[in-house]
Amino acid sequence: MIIEVQAERTYPVIIDTAWKVELSKLLVGRNKAAIIVSEKMQASIKDLIATDAEVLIFPIPDGEPGKSSATLNKIWDWLGAAGFTRSDLIIAIGGGAVTDLAGFAAASWLRGIDWVAIPTTVAGAVDAAIGGKTAINSEYGKNLIGAFYSPSAVIIDVSWFDSLSDRDFAAGLAEVVKAGFISDAKILQLISDSKILDLRSNRAAVIELVSRAIAVKAEIVSSDFKENFGREVLNYGHTLGHAIELHCKYDLRHGECVSIGMAFMAQLQLSLGLISSELAQQHIDILKNLGLPTTYKRQAWPSLLSSMYLDKKSRGKTLRLVTIKGIGITDRLENPDEKILLAAYEKVSL
């Protein structure tokens, strides 16, 4: 299956395929390609890819530490030493950290060379690799240095997910659940009664959920590539989620923080009369069923609230939350009463 994304260029997200076969096709006519992969996952790509191109492997530190200016410098040196030209290709194989870094390396080398994303985590497949945002971290914060720079193709091979822990698998599904609430009721139907282990063993269900979530993101970014009003809906559950990520010093996965953020939104929207108690309960039931957290520390509230005001999506000094009024019907809420926010938080805090 192919889902097209229209951004500064139109590119395919190729789903349910064998990544090596797909990659071989994309290498036809190329002289050189560089695979950027984390040191931890280097072993899983060592078998040869069928191609006449010269394939170089650039291993980088695993996870967030790999998304640094030091790594990027090293990659620029490697590309320079190998004589990479505009007709060569960068290939990112890994989670969101690798695709973010490799995409930015591709955006900056010779003012932009082609790159292909091969996400290996659920979060990477449904979120990081789709939408054209590339970045590295700065000492002053995550993702502060980056560019909008779309890949030429994204290859999704769900067999990568087999080696993920249940925790990482579920954390990625939080973004799938989000896509359900903001746009696709069928996702929620499919995921409703699924325990994580049953889901993982059902390849067809994983493919359907991942494809649907990608379709949701693809449609939103195609209509609003550069993160204006339309793209903001992808931030459902994320304003509190980002604040929790900061507060726990990234101890919890991004998807886990977003899960708590969506549980909070359920309570907030219920108290404002925006959604029914059934829909609020559906948030909690689905997230809990997947083993995702739906509560956080009560005493963290003052710090969470001030981070929410600083969240980049909150535009200046206003606090702006993406809301739903029903499944797939999104809206925005500006500067809600802090007493109402606290009351909703108390329902999801321990």
Ligand X SMILES: NC(=O)c1ccc[n+]([C@@H]2O[C@H](COP(=O)([O-])OP(=O)(O)OC[C@H]3O[C@@H](n4cnc5c(N)ncnc54)[C@H](O)[C@@H]3O)[C@@H](O)[C@H]2O)c1
Which residues make up the interface to ligand X (CB under 6 A)?
38, 40-41, 62-64, 67, 94-98, 100, 120-121, 123-124, 127-128, 131, 133, 142-143, 160, 163-164, 168, 254
CB 103 within 8 A of CB 151: yes
- Strands in 139-210 per DSSP E: 141-148, 153-156
**Residue 81 structure tokens:** 């030493």
Minimum distance from residue 91 beta carbon to ligand X (Å): 15
Select 68 or 121, whichever has its Cβ closest to ligand X.
121
Select 10 or 250, whichever has its Cβ closest to ligand X.
250
Select 143 or 271, whichever has its Cβ closest to ligand X.
143
Minimum distance from residue 213 beta carbon to ligand X (Å): 12
For the stretch 212-235, what's the b/e string if a residue is b when 16 or more beta carbons lie within 10 angstroms of its beta carbon? bbbbbbbbbbbeebebeebbbbbb
Select 39 or 334, whichever has its Cβ closest to ligand X.
39
Minimum distance from residue 325 beta carbon to ligand X (Å): 25
Select 96 or 180, whichever has its Cβ closest to ligand X.
96
**Cα angle at 335 between 180 and 176, to 5 degrees?**
15
CB 22 within 8 A of CB 93: no
Minimum distance from residue 94 beta carbon to ligand X (Å): 5
CB 22 within 8 A of CB 119: no
Minimum distance from residue 147 beta carbon to ligand X (Å): 11
Q: Please tell me the distance from the alpha carbon of residue 163 to that of residue 285, in angstroms, as a whole number.
A: 26
CA dihedral over 59, 61, 64, 70, signed as positive or negative: negative
Element at 149 (helix H, strand E): none
Q: Please tell me the distance from the alpha carbon of residue 303 to that of residue 320, in angstroms, as a whole number.
A: 17
Minimum distance from residue 57 beta carbon to ligand X (Å): 15
Select 120 or 282, whichever has its Cβ closest to ligand X.
120
Minimum distance from residue 105 beta carbon to ligand X (Å): 14
Select 164 or 274, whichever has its Cβ closest to ligand X.
164
